[in-house]
Structure formats: structure tokens, C-alpha cells
Amino acid sequence: MENSDYQFETLAIRTQCPSSQYREHSTPLYLSSSFTFDSAEQGSAIFKGQEEGNLYSRFSNPNTTEFIDKLCALEHCESGIATASGMAAVYTSFAAILVQGDHILASKDIFGNAQYIITQILPKMGVEYTLVDVDDNTAWAQGVKKNTKLIYLETPSNPTLKIADLRFIANIAKSNNIVSIVDNCFATPYLQNPSDFGIDLVLHSATKYIDGQGRVLGGAILGEEALVKKCYEFIRRTGACLSPFNAWILSKSIETLSLRMDRHCQNAKALTEWLQGHKKMERIYYPFLSTSPQQALAKAQMKFGGGLLGFELKGSVQQSMEFLNQLKIHSLTANLGDSRSIATHPASTTHSKLDPIQQLEMGISPSYIRLSVGLENVNDLIQDIDQALYKIK
């Protein structure tokens, strides 16, 4: 849309690719691997970058363009590229920027596969790494080296929902000529805009809240045009592009993102407040929790507290497993951001590739449970958790 002064909800709905000659009201699905030219000269001009136009759906497609245009508007970013998945966005942002001899400074509080790339794959390419606690500003400052070229983190973090000081980290990056990258998957652009704090690139696993119903995979890299172009050139040649069908689904889903996130946050807040009074809770994790030392920072960066929460049960890992097995409404899966509430045991699933010491360093205890709170009636969710807790021996 030309008017960037429109509010979030309007931009999410009214940002669309141009209508075809058929004057459709809703954007159609463009299932085409390639696109034709009006003339041989036009084909040459488009290939040379002298004229804009679609060539091949690995490069661009009206559906992926609309999807990215929406996210750029909502994330306050000037450019973007769609990827096949969230992990494709993570790896692409690393591979397109880092070269042999570089150093990446990253949070240890990240998704297990992202940490695997940093600690297992990048070193094979000659890239060094340092991992720090996401909420330790001193560690971030001291972790910078002469060859540091990239800073990477998630906030809120996966799975313990720690909060990073975005402005502090962005200032460190800019003062040292380092590219800063933030995975904004947990917050979504509705709750948080890292670019407003000076972050260079914003990543998304659109598979999560942006889809919102657990249907398709997708990812995005958003930010400064020069950096996004590097990522585009990498994807154009390596093929980790988003399919037009998935882009079409995700673009439609963005239209209801604000409504869904309001409900996710309301339910998560209510559930957190209920859990605070339960005798079987050892500790509760939620960004806007009144007892959290990071509450003020979270509120300064986020509109609401989000749809995820975590807790540690009193007792053993066997009791945590028993709790999960007794749930009747909550799904047992490793995904999140779904309309259906999900309960996950990170130590044995999403972060199982980390050894026990690494898990504890991230704050993942054997009894830690992550809840992705869905859109169901919150009273039903509370009742489900209550009956499961009651059956723990």
C-alpha cells in the first residue's frame, strides 16, 4: 500500500498484489513455475535487471511478493525475501553474510537446530562462534572480537522466554560494524518490531503464528535492502525459496494475525495467573509475569506478553511425562503458534540434541514444560491442565 500511515490491521489486510484483468477481489493463487515475456527484448531486459518483472518462481512470484510486502510493512523493514522454512531463513542469513575467518556472536538461548548450525556446520566453513546468555549485556559486550561479523539471537528466547535488550545489542553491533539478526518468531510483528530498536535483519518462521493453524512451512528475512539482496542472491542460486501455494496461505493468514495474537495473549496471561497459585508449580516463565526481573524490559519492547509460557513442575522428569500424558485438550507436538494449544517437553524433543549440561545452561530443566496457548476457551484449558496436574502421583 502507498499509505504507510495505516494501522497494523489495515496494512495486514489491504496490502495486496495488483489485480489481474479479471478484477478479482481476493488475490488468486499463481501456480506457475515460470512467466512469459511480451518480447525477446523484454526478456533480456528483465534478466539484466533493467526492467522489473517475474521470471521464475524460484526468483519471485506474485504470491511470495505479496507475502513479503505485508511483512515488510508490518515489521517496518524496507526489503525482504521469502524462504522455504524458518530454518532456511536462519541458515541463509548466516551463509549469505559470513565467510571463512569470520566470527559469529550468538545467544545460547535459541532453537536447538539454530544452535546446531552455529556450533556444528559453520565451523566446517571456517567460521568461529561464541555463545552467551541472551539476557547478559556484559557477556554480549565482551563477546565481540575483531573478526565478529554477525550477532544472532531470539527474543523472547526458545524455550525459556528470556528477553534480550534489543537497543543495547543493536548499539553494540552498529558501533563495531556488525550485522545484527533477531528471530522475531515468538513475538510476531504485532507484538514487537526489532528494526525499531536498530536491528538490521528480522527473521520469521512463518510456520508458527503467521500461519497460525499448523498447515504450511515458511520463513522470511526482512531488513535493510543491501543485506536482503545478499540473502536473495544466495536463495536464488541454492533454491530454499517459498512455494507460491504456501505464500498464498501465509498471506491470507496475516489478515487475522492481530485478532489471533490478542486471543493468544489473553489466554496465556489468564493461564499464567492461574498457575501462579498452584502448589505443584516450582517456577513459571512468562515475559509479563509480575515477579519476573525482566518484566519492565519486556513491556518496553513488546505490546503484550505473547502466547507462550513455561513452567517447571515439582518432582521428577517422570512426573512431567505423566502430566503430558494426562492432558486431554492440549496436543503433544513440537510445533507452536497454532490455534490449538500445544504442550511440549523441550528436553526430550526440540532441544534433545543438546547434552544435559547444555540444556541446563539454557535454563531447560528435565521438568520444564512449554505451553503454546491456543485459541480455545481459556476455562477449558485451565480445567484440562488442572485435571492433569491432579493425576500426577
> Is it the case that residue 30 has pLDDT exceeding 70?
yes
Q: Could you tell me which CATH number the domain at 257-390 has?
A: 3.90.1150.10
2, pLDDT greater than 80:
no
Res 1 pLDDT > 70: no
- Per-residue pLDDT band for 3 (boundaries 50, 70, 90) equals low
* 354: amino acid identity, one letter: L
Q: What is the pLDDT of residue 80?
A: 98
pLDDT score at 361 = 83
Backbone angles phi, psi at 112, to 5 degrees: -55, -40
CATH code given to domain 8-254: 3.40.640.10
Phi, psi of 101 (to 5 degrees): 95, -10
Q: Give the distance from CA 235 to its chain's centroid.
A: 19
User: Quick one: DSSP state of residue 58?
Assistant: T
As beta bridge partners, residue 152 has 106, 181
Write out pLDDT tens, residues 84-95: 999 999 999 999
Q: Read off the amino acid at residue 66.
A: E
What confidence score (pLDDT) does residue 236 get? 93
| pLDDT for 378 beyond 90 | yes
Structural contact between residues 267 and 339, judged by C-beta atoms closer than 8 angstroms: no
Distance CA 53, CA 225 (A): 18
Q: What is the pLDDT of residues 39-56, one digit of tens each?
A: 999 999 998 889 999 999
Instruction: State the pLDDT at residue 356.
Output: 85
To the nearest whole percent, how much of the chain has pLDDT over 70? 99
pLDDT band at residue 83 using 50, 70 and 90 as cut-offs: very high
Contacts 24+ apart (CB under 8 A), 327-330: 327/384, 327/385, 327/388, 328/384, 328/387, 328/388, 329/376, 329/380, 329/381, 329/384, 330/371, 330/381, 330/384, 330/385
Q: Which amino acid is at 143?
A: G
More confident residue, 316 or 378: 378
Q: Is 315 left (phi over 0), alpha (psi -120 to 50) or beta?
A: left
Neighbours of 206 (CB within 10 A): 31
Task: For residue 258, report the phi and psi dihedrals to the nearest 5 degrees.
Answer: -65, -40
pLDDT of residue 353 exceeding 80, the answer is no
What type of residue is 328? K
pLDDT tier at 277, thresholds 50, 70, 90: confident
Query: What percentage of the chain exceeds 90 in pLDDT?
Result: 90
Whole-model pTM above 0.85?
yes
Going from N- to C-terminal start, the domains of the chain cover: 8-254, 257-390
Longest pairwise C-alpha distance within the chain: 75
b vs e for 280-314, b when ≥16 Cβ sit within 10 Å of the residue's Cβ? Answer: eeeebbbbbbeebebbebbeebbbbbbbbbbbbbe
pLDDT in tens, 195-220: 999 999 999 999 999 999 999 999 99
Q: How much is the pLDDT for 34?
A: 95
Same fold, 8-254 and 257-390: no
Give the tens place of pLDDT for each residue, 155-177: 999 999 999 999 999 999 999 99
DSSP string, 264-326: HHHHHHHHHHHHTT-TTEEEEE-TT-TT-TTHHHHHHH-SS--SEEEEEESS-HHHHHHHHHH
